[in-house]
Structure 1
């Protein structure tokens, strides 16, 4: 999908949504930010530094984490080894790797699954493992691609809490998902892409009340749900 004049800003400590119908350019935009696609025009900045020419692995080292829509856990590795695999390439002492791994497992309530293989995990457990592993690199920003896909309602609430925790860690979060209600609920503000361009941007309340956003994407009967 070709995108044009897409100007997105994510600050640390806030959650920003990227919404739009299929083919709107959400995935293309995500891929350009993380370095999976090279833009033919435009630039990507990280804390004021132009990283447009940096490969994906360097962007990750600079502080951009990415959680793909597809399952990314190593299926034949345990939860513990999934996290350690990331920590081992960071060049930190073994004792520190073990400490940080244990801390992440406890924070994301997966310590009891430490020896479970990736293929044994439920959708919610897999997501928590993937996010814990992404945080092992201590990113400043993290992009979540369809975090609510393929998980049950209880796990959806779990992911919502985790995103809130990421915000409290002063991590900037950019999230895209077809579950509009859940995405709008967790975001401070969102961008609505349509046919490769930003159609609207603003808070959940603004987008839910905007006639053009309702007509082209949300639907005329859309109601903004609130969770307890």
Structure 2
């Protein structure tokens, strides 16, 4: 499988992640040599994440509920055109991280930058307008509307010209191979068809980043490959994708890299092969017998 290039210069220090798309290969080599004595899960600190164009950057976010910390100093970065996983056991804090990034809940500490702009205090609806799309685990289609009207409802908000709206509607229906379903009631769609409709509708708002919460949930095994292809299609469009899902094998099969979160902290970060071969990840999350 051809993966989208993730660029250079991503470095991790425990849960403190820095992302530097402009770092040269020689700088990478020097960095790697200087840290050869560090373990996979505890690499030496470098610098704090910096806001960059074309990057969704999360730095040191924290969240507590009733005195219990559920997210502890989590830092992650996603570039446009790549797929990144946020994986970990149940209760690790993955969904809470998603909620803070989208603005559904406010972070107690830390910062979130989009294309170099601090959006930490920006409300959810404005984050959506700035380019953060979110597809929740639960069905999010408007069940009382047809497929085309689900997409049209979003286009009416972002595109004032009716002729252009209809042109974009036709293009999205064609792009996601649901033109033949345009008049169908959305409540009658299969799991895979529903996901196609939801993603097409999400793209109507022209996001630069998409957060997919359990995209494989409720999908028949035969449709798993279809969803994987949809995610790859998003990255080919230049959209950065952040995914969390309990179907680890399917997720690792389509992402460029992953962050493993456990007990509210980032345990480690790397390519799918690095994640699978990490002894600590196998011990605490994947299990010793796990293979791709």
Q: TM-score range with shorter-chain normalisation? A: over 0.9
* 1:130 alignment partner, one of 198, 206, 212: 198
- 2:73 aligned counterpart, secondary structure: coil
The CA distance in 1 between the partners of 2:117 and 2:154, in whole Å, is 25
Aligned residues: 224
Query: Residues 41-87 of structure 1, C-alpha deviation per residue, up to 9 Å, x if partnerless?
Result: 00110011100111111000000000000000011100000000000
Give the structure, 1 or 2, with the largest relative contact order (CA under 8 Å, sep 6 or more).
Answer: 1
Q: Secondary structure at the match of 2:246?
A: coil
Q: In structure 1, what is the equivalent of residue 255 of structure 2? A: 187
Q: Structure 2: how far apart are the matches of 1:216 and 1:169?
A: 35
CA distance in 1, matches of 2:168, 2:221: 29
Q: 1:59 aligns with which of 122, 127, 131?
A: 127
Unaligned runs of 5+ in 2: 1-68
The answer (yes or no) to whether the contact 2:85–2:251 under 8 Å persists in 1 is yes
- The answer (yes or no) to whether the contact 2:159–2:165 under 8 Å persists in 1 is no
Query: How far apart, CA to CA, are the structure 2 residues paired with 1:170 and 1:79?
Result: 25
Shift of 1:155: 1.5
CA distance in 2, matches of 1:114, 1:95: 17
Aligned equivalent of 1:15: 83
Q: Deviations over 1:12-59 (max 9, x none)?
A: 010000000110000000000000010010011001110011111100
Structure 2 match to 1:29: 97
Q: Which residue among 179, 186, 208 is the counterpart of 1:111?
A: 179
Residue 197, structure 1, aligned to residue 283, structure 2: no
Q: Relative to total residues, which structure has the larger helix share, 1 or 2? A: 1
Matched, 1:148 2:219: no
Shift of 1:92: 2.1
Alignment partner of 1:79 out of 142, 147, 170: 147
Show the counterpart of 2:18. Answer: none
Equivalence for 1:95: 163
Residue 218 of structure 1, CA deviation: 0.3
TM-score, normalised to structure 2, is: 0.76
Q: Hey, what does 1:170 align to over in structure 2?
A: 238
What residue ranges of structure 1 are gaps of 5+ in the alignment? Answer: none
For 1:191-213, what per-residue CA distance to the aligned partner results, in whole angstroms no more than 9, with x for missing partners? 00000000011010001111100
Which structure: greater strand fraction?
2
Residue 154 of structure 1: CA displacement?
2.3
| 4+ aligned runs moved over 4 Å, structure 1 | none
SS in 2 for 1:3: strand
